[in-house]
Structure 1
Amino acid sequence: MIDAPGPWGTGPFTLVEGHSRVQTELAVIQAEPLAATWMQREDRTARVRLTANPKYWDKVRGPHLQEIVFRNDVSPEQALDLVCTTEGQVDIVTEVPHREADRVQQSEHARLVTVDAVRALAGVINRAAVGLPLHDVCARQALNLAVNRSGLISDVFGGRARPLAGLTPPTPLTALHRAPNRLKAYPFDPERARALWRQVTDGPSRPLRITAMSDWEAVAHRIARDLEDALELAVEVSVLHGEEQLTARRRLAEKTDPPEWDILLLEQGSQAADTPPLEQHRAFVGRTGEFRAGPVVPEFERLFAAMVAQQA
């Protein structure tokens, strides 16, 4: 957090103009023992300017630039347009949306740089949904088997994603050669999905409700189409924007109100660089999980407690 104008700082750069704050609000997951998560809002001035610190101790690492200016006076869409169509206006744009990746690659002014991110896009299933058998493991398996992950990755993500088994991101710590017998992602098997769904339903049911954060609207509609085709089920999609997204995350974390959705699509990155799979699964299935919408998994709690004991 850079929360006051400089000049100050002992790193390779010194803040000389503006501020960039992260304002946090506490969302209590459980009171005893206390478990909570932070809801974040950002407060930035139109410009945040850093200049090179000539007294920085590590001359090899830098600084290698005289000045860096963060422009917060343009929207992400405007910034991407400037980096793709002009020179000298914007030099770097981070977090390029998947839907814009081809545009960047085709630009004569920009170059797309990709990395394997320590994060996952997942659907949180509301097991307590009224009118649908989502409490039954067969129904949840049917939902997973009905989704064509390969088609989703190629058609929506342009090939820039990977199917996951559980919530284990493809990082060097979780590479296949380290765990050759690891689980595989669900296959696309619409016939098996339909059979499982019919096994736990009795005739037509109400529509399945998918809610997605705004970045994943296209993903939600593609998944909805797969579910409609495989399960012969009506699916409704709603998209959250701005403050609605923070409210949905808070309600899910605090677990005080029943969700208004059956599946919530959201993205989560690991804050633990050494154990990303455990941290990701904690968020979704752990006792202190801010995205857990079902029962606590005792076996996971045992594994997580053992990891914490080793790290302490």
Structure 2
Amino acid sequence: MSHNVISRRTPAGTIHVVDPSPFNWLHVLENTMEAPVKADRNGRVIPALAAGLKWVDDCILEMRLREGGVFQDGQRLTSKSVKENFKELQRWPSPHSFGSWLNFHEETKILIVDEHTVQLQFPYPDGLVPGKLRFFHIAASNFWRKIGFGYAKQGTGDGHWSMLDAPGPWGSGPFSLTNGHSSILSQTAIISKNPFASAWLTVREDRSPYIVLQANQNYWNPINSAKLERVIFRNDLSYDHALRLCTSTEGQVDLVTGVLPKDAEKVVQSPYTRLVNEKGNQVIAGIFNLFRRDVNFSDRKLRLAFNLAIDREEIVRKGFKGYADLVPALTPFWAADFPENLQPRQFNPARASQLLKNARWRPGRPVKLASTEKYQTIARLIASQLRTNLQIEAEVTIVQTDQELSFLKTIAEKKLVPSWDIFLTDATASFSEDTPFYVHREFFGRSGALRAGPELVDFDQLYKRMVIQTDRKTRINRAKAIDQFIFEQAYALFLCIPQSLYAVNKQVHFTPYKTMLDLAETEVTEKHWSRRR
């Protein structure tokens, strides 16, 4: 059925959102500016501005655009729009704030086939391109003339791609950004000069007190048009203040993202809110420091000893109040490339102690744990378990917020040997497939900002075999093999995946997504404060 004959429902209601997430800039962008593909509720890659993708051969990807696509300023979406945006993207060596690993190869070319078809031509096979296209947001021509991604404000697009510094009818999404801005200021860390690899580390967030998204009344796809008239992100409130307002009043805050497990019961008991939870996409693990010379973490027996000494169920119960899911290695169990045969390792302190002895852990030598403030409770809980279960001392260093940038830069650039043995951190899965691209690569790959050791030759070989595969089914199987390998080798201290928790006003119908904050489906009842006035 043509979009032109589908009746369009009039948007109704306003909600106030407090989104403490460091990815707020991406949440604002993805509700206002579209890319060729997006993630659905379950994290699967689905078409957005693209009607379809087809590999012509292993080095040519053909993209057919949706006919009838239009930007918020009235400009039509055509192949020329895609080519214009592609040229802007390719101007910069490291435009994506996540890092250069999202880049298209510098020798990639774009060919216009017809008004709604383009071909991306690569110098070598890259099966990860469909996922990379999620971060290739397509803007109207006016956007590039007036502000660009960082052009007007920073004088460069490097590290600032996908961040909106000013309101305007820049995209084609279901909402328009009519007031405010959300971006981050970052500092680069060079992981490798040849081949070039870099990461961007956040220095600080740059958000206006209020960000207003207005329903795009002329959205080209009425099936997915916004149900709300207006969304207001309130950045003038702290997390604690926002949660207090959400659970005790109406009309101030309707939705709080990133609710902490310790606060979940407040939301449940409130007469104004309900707790909405979804399976998470941030995988928590401990990185073993393979650069250390006084501890041999290259020995699998030692890595396995620490994995068997951890009671993960206690971590979920005490550290996350039950709002987390165990994971065998690094791939979420809901992902398409999760190895079905894997199970989380069972807590076995007796075997862990024997393995520690076999690995010749030096008596009296403490294990040194490090964590940012985000996971300090988990770090202290793990330290307590190691003291009890391995009969060794465990020291915990909590990296304070003002020291986090330099701490992470040291890990990313790999010029100095960190002083810790195990660092607790996380990586984020952007889709339900190609998980090693987003998670395993970050921990162990050549371009991994969190890799703490020499390059792992066996991992790199498995990863390359996955990357060059353009057949989805084969690539998924090779991704499973990577997670299986990492699990068998116990290359990290595998922990869990926290659930995503939301405090939602009871008159708001909110549908959570596993890998993004999509607000187009959100709607309010007639009893909601914004519709009673």
**TM-score normalised by length of structure 1:** 0.91
Establish whether residue 222 from structure 1 lines up as the match of residue 381 from structure 2: yes
Instruction: Confirm or deny: 8 A CA contact 1:128 1:135 kept in the other structure.
Output: no
**1:256 aligned partner:** 415
Q: Which runs of 5+ in 1 are unaligned?
A: none
**1:13 aligned partner:** 175
Instruction: Confirm or deny: 8 A CA contact 1:105 1:112 kept in the other structure.
Output: yes
CA 1:10–1:128 in 2, change beyond 3 Å: closer, same or farther?
closer
**1:62 aligned partner:** 225
Counterpart selection for 2:185 from 12, 20, 23:
23
Counterpart selection for 1:34 from 196, 208, 216:
196
Establish whether residue 148 from structure 1 lines up as the match of residue 311 from structure 2: yes
What is the distance in 2 between the residues matched to 1:263 and 1:81? 36
CA 1:213–1:71 in 2, change beyond 3 Å: closer, same or farther?
same
CA 1:274–1:180 in 2, change beyond 3 Å: closer, same or farther?
closer
CA 1:297–1:272 in 2, change beyond 3 Å: closer, same or farther?
farther
What is the distance in 1 between the residues matched to 2:362 and 2:233? 56
**1:115 aligned partner:** 278
Matched residue SS, 1:123 = strand
What is the 5 A alignment of 1:33-182? 33-40=195-202, 41-174=204-337, 179-181=339-341
- Identity score, percent: 36
What is the distance in 2 between the residues matched to 1:293 and 1:209? 14
Matched residue SS, 2:256 = coil
Instruction: Confirm or deny: 8 A CA contact 2:335 2:433 kept in the other structure.
Output: no
- Kindly provide the CA deviation profile for residues 57-104 of structure 1, in whole angstroms up to 9, marking residues without a partner as x: 222322211211111111122222221222211111111122222322
Q: Which runs of 5+ in 2 are unaligned?
A: 1-162, 472-533
Instruction: Confirm or deny: 8 A CA contact 1:131 1:205 kept in the other structure.
Output: no
Q: Which moved more, 1:255-264 or 1:1-10?
A: 1-10
Aligned partner letter, 2:180:
G
Shift of 1:211: 1.1
**What's the RMSD between the two structures over aligned residues?**
2.1
Matched residue SS, 1:212 = strand
Shift of 1:3: 0.9
What is the distance in 1 between the residues matched to 2:362 and 2:441? 36
- Kindly provide the CA deviation profile for residues 254-284 of structure 1, in whole angstroms up to 9, marking residues without a partner as x: 1111112111111110245531145311111
What is the distance in 2 between the residues matched to 1:294 and 1:306? 22
CA 1:108–1:163 in 2, change beyond 3 Å: closer, same or farther?
same
Aligned partner letter, 1:64:
K
Q: Where is the strand percentage greater, Structure 1 or Structure 2?
A: 2
Matched residue SS, 2:386 = helix
Aligned partner letter, 1:228:
R
Shift of 1:293: 1.1
What is the distance in 1 between the residues matched to 2:404 and 2:277? 26
**2:95 aligned partner:** none
Larger Rg: 2
CA 1:193–1:288 in 2, change beyond 3 Å: closer, same or farther?
same
